[in-house]
Amino acid sequence: MIEQYVLDLQEVDETRVAVVGGKGAHLGGLSRIEGVRVPRGFCVTTHAFRRIMAEAPSIDDRLDELSRTNPDDREAIRTLSAQIRRTVEEIAIPADLAAEVTRALGRLGEQAAYAVRSSATAEDLPTASFAGQQDTYLNVMGPTAILQHVSRCWASLFTERAVTYRQRNGIDHRTVHMAVVVQRMVFPHAAGILFTADPVTGNRKVATVDAGFGLGEALVSGLVNPDVFKVQDGEVVTRTIAAKQRAVHALPAGGTQEVAVDSQRQEQPALTDAQVVELVRLGRRIEAHFGHPQDIEWCLVDDGFQIVQSRPITTLFPVPESGDEENHVYLSVGHQQMMTDPMKPLGISVWQLTAMAPMHEAGGRLFVDATRRLASPASRAGFLELVGRGDPLIRDALETVLERGDFVPSLPDSGPVGPPAGGASLPTEADPAIVGELIERSRASIAALERDIRTRTGPALFDFLLEAFEEHKRVLSDPLNMQAIMAGMEATWWLNDKLEEWLGEKNAADTLTLSAPDNVTSEMGLELLDVADVIRPHPEVVAFLQGVEDEDFLDDLGKLAGGAEARDAIEAYLDRYGMRCVGEIDITRPRWRERPSTLVPVILDNVRNFEPGAAERRFEQGRHRAQQKEQDVLSRLRALPDGDRKADETKRMIDQVRAFIGYREYPKYGIISRYFVYKRALLAEAERLVQAGVLPEQEDIFYLTFQELHEVVRSHQVDDQLIQQRRDAFRSYQALTPPRVLTSDGEAVTGAYRRDDVPAGALIGLPVSAGTVEGRARVILDMAQAELEAGDILVTRFTDPSWSPLFVGIAGLVTEVGGLMTHGAVIAREYGLPAVVGVEQATRLIRDGQRIRVHGTDGYIEILP
């Protein structure tokens, strides 16, 4: 096949990204939409780029060196990328290629002015926007200058920012090629950007238009503040007219110039409302063509709008599919489960199949539809009360939606949900004996699962697992299970409400629940202290663990003095807790048993920071503090009017909270124990598929849903392209932040704490564990990278149960995600750590190493000088 070096824009569409790059493909697609005008032009194809690159073999060596360079080594990247750019620009364009470009210019007008624009093959795609990563040149005139700027566009594939962006996003430099778009210049009265969805809130029904005078370069470069219009349902709903003091205009001889805008025009709108509405109508047509909300660059010339670029808005959080046109309000499951990272398809589908409520996927996260509970007047108040106790930001966001009046329709009552508003009547007492009974039932169910799954393979395994998922849900839905969970939570709420009312004491339950029995998550942290006690007396073992780099270190440990005991202690710990890991609700995440090196830094911190017997001492100290607090509270209550009744009721609730609050953590432990059994069986099946040549590697199954994997096992056929698409999508989801509340319009509704009782500059959050502590902030995003000293305060995004071993070595806790009854909060109270959760952007606003003061009783953090 003859390689074409030049293609007219009319000859290409979105399917030709590999030949004309993302920008060229989109422009070709735009030119085919009825009613959309695109300046005439052509593409210098990636075939031309590859031919140029082949002229300089030395570039290959530089790319090898670049691929080995750390993305954070800016100096090395700057040097290497500059060398590659210089080499590319110095390559002479072959005569036949230059002749094709000149012929194309002749068809459009050789002496006209042109825009010369880079168009990379990894640019303007639905999963990644490379806006501004490569170069654009405006008002270029004459074939010689245009060819020179084509070379510059080729070289711009290797600008420092483009190289760094690719490295950070895992994109191989060799897989990206550069085409160049050459278009007739447009000399507009006004230009700007149209977002067909609100880029801030995500609302798909609100379009935003930014507009300024002259060329759009003034807006894109940040030279001027634009006029901003918001349009909904065909009407301008808000407008902000800026003082536009500067503009960029084309020069007659080529190039552009920044000019002052006449003072009388500066505060005139760049567009009329009618023009804005017309532009948005055009944008909706473009959005419908591409199937995604678009970021569109437009120009207004004498006879209407021309479109010079359109790319997907990649920062919007996707909307769950509802299958209808009704309004919906979705709540993030990840914020309840302390795991807001994206999940892989197998993880999502297994969680959906084992969850107690229907769940909807979007952006690699799960959501529950709260619309019906909000729509029923009877259930709404109780639901908001229940949600608000856990996370006030979610409640505030839901109230924001409800205040709009017409988004959530009122439906007939469906019965109360959650505690009654006010919720401080004396909870029903529960029999503490049910805790032991429930734990035993769970253990027996898991033992039966492990026994029965051993002989199941092939399609029969999937039939068995579907039955196992039903048993999984039966265990969770046992009325006794919910009774035990609610007994501890309701007693906590009652104690906090009543003791603040009667004694003026906030969050009294925090101290009363210290070292409560049967808390499998707090035991997990304490038992790792016991492992450190076994290792500490053996310097050779400690030195060996400091150098651990792979996952088979336990095999070598037994060869050292004291190593056998150390290995046995770690193995015993893994036997009980090896199914756990960060992000454990995603079955695809590597478990501690699969990656035991994750625990080594925590064990070494415990060896260094604690004395022998710390676990038992710590537990007893907590128990003693709780007993002292109980005596203090009861004696103060008895001194009040009607004090004996108040003290008796409080004593019953203290007994109830201590009997049941520890069990709050057990159902999750049971879920994750079952998950590891499922996972090992599925990985064994994956290995059989690898051996049969169906899959290249075991972990490919993580990018299939449970149902799809079932079909692959049955048919021994797999769609490799689907797996690659899922990998790419998962990578793109990692850049998204899931909202707590999301509407079917795509709006991410953010709540606020609405408090005025905190010092200026303080970071506000939810108080979940009382006390005040000052110390060094350690901002840690990966538990395996944690190096903590005594007195440090852990600052992180979220803490699911797997973070609990770190809690024994810290003095306080700050997280971006969390609620009163989420795992991090429960364990912080168990260990007596002052903790504030739900602190928006805490890991960005607090720098690692800063000194901070955590007010765990009042719910705020001060950053100290």
Residue 324 CB partners (closer than 8 Å, separation 6+): none
Sign of the alpha-carbon torsion through 596, 600, 601, 606 = positive
Cα gap 579→678, rounded to integer Å: 11
Side-chain half-sphere of 585: how many Cα atoms within 13 Å? 27
Local structure of 815: helix, strand or coil: strand
Please say if 47 is a catalytic residue.
no
Active-site residue, from 173, 289, 328, 823: 823
Residue 114 dihedral angles phi and psi, to the nearest 5°: -135, 155
Residue 214: DSSP 8-state: B
The strand pairing partners of 862, in sequence order, are 853
Contact 619, 380 (CB under 8 A): no
Name the DSSP class of 292: S
d(CA 492, CA 427): 10
Contact 845, 360 (CB under 8 A): no
Say which residues have a Cβ less than 8 Å from residue 206's Cβ, sequence separation at least 6.
197, 198, 230, 231, 232, 237
Query: Per 3-state DSSP, what percentage of the chain is helix, strand, and coil (rounded to 5)?
Result: 50, 15, 35
Following DSSP, what letter does each residue of 559-607 receive, concatenated? TSTTHHHHHHHHHHHHHHHTT--TTTTSTTSPPTTT-GGGGHHHHHHHH
Sheet holding 763-764, edge to edge: 763-764, 860-863, 851-855, 772-779, 793-796, 812-815, 835-837, 766-769
**Using CA atoms, how far apart are residues 67 and 63, in angstroms rounded to an integer?**
6
Query: Of 709, 757, 688, 703, which is closest to residue 733 (Cα–Cα)?
Result: 703
CA distance 372 to 417: 11
- C-beta of residue 329 within 8 angstroms of C-beta of residue 743: yes
Active site residues: 823
